[in-house]
């Protein structure tokens, strides 16, 4: 049995099982193990299962061991812990609080503040779903109280939550860097301008929406106490400091990404205890949450590594690369095909599943075309970001549906998100056509 055929069949089987909502870790490890067993069992031409047991078990154990002992993987629990501890100290929402005060008299001000709050939350937590869930509980009731159009209120937070994928630190960038062996520090820096460009695009959508329909975002008439703006701005200093430590430390060559995460965790704990906003009980809760979340990510990543080894064994990725070379596709046509693939998968699968499933096949194509892997990483994460709000299974939309008023239907949230989704497509095209947006900062290292 041809190994490359087994590889392609295995890829199709993974897609089917994931569509049936089978847990991704079990799918990747199960298909990879079974496929590897078949390859070794049929190596002599006839089926000899006794010859497949040792090499199959060796491949599984070695792949698992190699991934778990990766130094770069250690930054995932650190950044996850940073996000959870910062949340329990209230640091993650202070940028929203400050922006909400400063923009109170502006049409759509609370919606813009929610987007800025999501950007600030993302710069600390790195989790899109956590960002959407937390900011949704805080921002949406405030907007609905003021009489905001429910579609605008929910869609702005659902879209803003996706910034957690692009604005560093990002778990998706970490996984991409590990599986493609590219610099995670450079990936973090590469995501800054695209993240800010996306944020700007979302703000433009809110301004356009409220200019066409002023009633969609009434201005809050409540007068502010004297000095409220200055007090709100000062209260946001911990969030801004953590962002400067992470990005400034990496860009200045002071820290590696892992060291920046460790320093930020220590600073957050100190700030929490000094301000009295962090207790031993809440710290233990944050650590427990971090352990659960990290364990899930590690299990998926380790099983994905097994799948990557299986794909390498089959030679299926090389066969796909040869097909593309024989077809004579240009770089732009190839990128268009990759974008269509990711957008399609984003309609049904979660971002982590997509990235670990597709990279073994896509990266050889990008390498063959001589494209920059840092730039491509930004494009991939942007595509995964789009998938978070793409129907029918836009995870952020369903997260917002779960944390908001039950009278607001998911269909209405998707209808509101469509405007932000259109802006995402514009930003995606810009990032593809102008790679310098992604590369100017990391190339300055």
- 340-368 pLDDT, tens digit each: 988 888 887 778 888 888 888 888 888 88
Give me the phi and psi of 425, to 5 degrees please: -65, -40
Q: For residues 316 and 136, is the Cβ–Cβ distance under 8 A?
A: no
Digit-coded pLDDT (tens) for 65-115: 877 777 778 888 888 888 888 888 888 778 888 888 888 778 888 888 888
Digit-coded pLDDT (tens) for 217-239: 887 777 767 777 788 778 888 88
Q: Give the predicted TM-score (pTM) of the model.
A: 0.87
- Tell me the Ramachandran region of residue 329: left when phi exceeds 0, alpha when psi lies from -120 to 50, beta otherwise: beta
Q: For residues 244 and 237, is the Cβ–Cβ distance under 8 A?
A: no
Which of helix, strand or coil describes residue 258?
helix
Q: In this model, does residue 445 exceed pLDDT 70?
A: no
Among the listed residues 57, 152, 183, the one whose alpha carbon sits nearest the alpha carbon of residue 416: 152
CA pair distance 263, 265, nearest whole angstrom? 6
Angle, alpha carbons 145-100-156 (nearest 5°): 70
> DSSP letter string over 305-335?
HHHHHHHHHHTHHHHHHHHHHHHT--HHHHH
CA pair distance 316, 39, nearest whole angstrom? 13
pLDDT at 400: 85
Give me the phi and psi of 222, to 5 degrees please: -65, 125
Please list the alpha-helical segments (H only) found in 328-372. 331-346, 351-369
Digit-coded pLDDT (tens) for 395-444: 788 888 877 767 788 888 888 899 999 999 999 999 999 999 999 999 87
CA distances from 320 to 105, 237, 314, 338 (A): 56, 50, 11, 13
Cα Rg of the chain (Å, integer) = 23
- What lies within 8 Å, CB to CB, of 365 at 6+ separation is 320, 321, 324, 334, 338
pLDDT at 162: 86
Cis peptide, bond prior to residue 169, ω within 30 of zero: yes
Instruction: State which H helix or E strand residue 59 sits in.
Output: helix 53-68
Task: Report the percentage of the chain scoring pLDDT > 70.
Answer: 98
Q: For residues 159 and 121, is the Cβ–Cβ distance under 8 A?
A: no
Angle, alpha carbons 402-404-407 (nearest 5°): 100
Q: In this model, does residue 1 exceed pLDDT 70?
A: no
Q: Looking up tokens 């965790």, which residue turns up?
A: 265
Q: For residues 235 and 100, is the Cβ–Cβ distance under 8 A?
A: no
Task: Report the percentage of the chain scoring pLDDT > 90.
Answer: 16
- What lies within 8 Å, CB to CB, of 358 at 6+ separation is 341, 342, 345
The mean pLDDT value of the chain amounts to 84
Q: How confident is the model at residue 196 (pLDDT cuts 50, 70, 90)?
A: very high
Could you give the maximum distance between any two Cα atoms of the chain, in Å?
84
Among the listed residues 248, 247, 241, 289, the one whose alpha carbon sits nearest the alpha carbon of residue 266: 241
Q: Looking up tokens 């356009």, which residue turns up?
A: 208
Among the listed residues 16, 49, 53, 48, the one whose alpha carbon sits nearest the alpha carbon of residue 31: 16
Sign of CA pseudo-dihedral 305, 363, 16, 162: positive
Digit-coded pLDDT (tens) for 237-290: 888 888 888 888 887 888 888 888 889 899 999 998 888 888 889 889 989 988
């Amino acid at each position: 049995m041809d190994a490359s055929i087994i590889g392609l069949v295995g890829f199709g089987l993974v897609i089917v099982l994931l569509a049936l909502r089978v847990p991704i870790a079990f799918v990747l490890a199960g298909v990879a193990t079974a496929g590897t067993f078949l390859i070794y069992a049929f190596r002599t031409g006839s089926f000899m299962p006794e010859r497949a047991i040792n090499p199959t078990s060796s491949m599984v154990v070695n792949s698992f061991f190699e991934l778990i002992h990766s130094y770069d993987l250690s930054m995932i629990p650190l950044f996850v812990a940073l996000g959870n501890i910062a949340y329990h100290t209230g640091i993650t929402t202070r940028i929203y609080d400050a922006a909400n005060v400063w923009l109170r008299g502006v049409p759509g001000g609370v919606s813009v503040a929610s987007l800025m709050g999501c950007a600030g939350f993302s710069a600390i937590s790195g989790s899109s779903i956590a960002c959407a869930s937390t900011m949704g509980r805080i921002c949406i009731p405030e907007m609905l109280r003021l009489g905001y159009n429910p579609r605008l209120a929910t869609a702005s937070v659902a879209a803003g939550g996706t910034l957690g994928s692009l604005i560093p630190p990002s778990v998706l960038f970490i996984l991409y860097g590990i599986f493609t062996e590219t610099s995670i520090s450079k990936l973090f820096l590469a995501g800054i301008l695209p993240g800010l460009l996306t944020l700007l695009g979302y703000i433009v959508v809110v301004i356009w929406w409220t200019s066409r329909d002023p009633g969609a975002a009434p201005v809050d008439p409540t007068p502010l106490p004297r000095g409220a703006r200055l007090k709100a701005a000062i209260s946001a200093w911990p969030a801004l400091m953590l962002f400067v430590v992470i990005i400034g430390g990496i860009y200045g060559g002071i820290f590696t990404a892992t060291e920046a995460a460790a320093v930020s965790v220590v600073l957050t704990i100190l700030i929490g205890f000094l301000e009295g906003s962090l207790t031993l009980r809440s710290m233990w809760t944050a650590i427990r949450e971090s352990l659960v979340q990290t364990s899930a990510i590690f299990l998926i990543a380790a099983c994905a590594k097994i799948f990557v080894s299986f794909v390498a064994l089959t030679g299926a990725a090389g066969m796909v690369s040869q097909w593309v070379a024989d077809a004579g596709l240009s770089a732009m046509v190839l990128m268009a095909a990759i974008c269509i693939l990711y957008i399609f998968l984003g309609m049904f699968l979660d971002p982590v599943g997509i990235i670990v499933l597709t990279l073994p096949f896509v990266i050889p194509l990008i390498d063959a075309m001589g494209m920059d892997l840092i730039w491509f990483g930004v494009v991939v994460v942007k595509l995964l970001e789009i998938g978070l709000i793409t129907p029918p299974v836009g995870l952020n939309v369903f997260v917002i549906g779960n944390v908001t008023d039950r009278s607001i239907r998911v269909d209405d949230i998707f209808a509101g998100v469509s405007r932000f989704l259109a802006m995402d497509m514009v930003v995606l095209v810009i990032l593809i056509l102008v790679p310098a947006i992604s590369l100017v900062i990391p190339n300055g290292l």
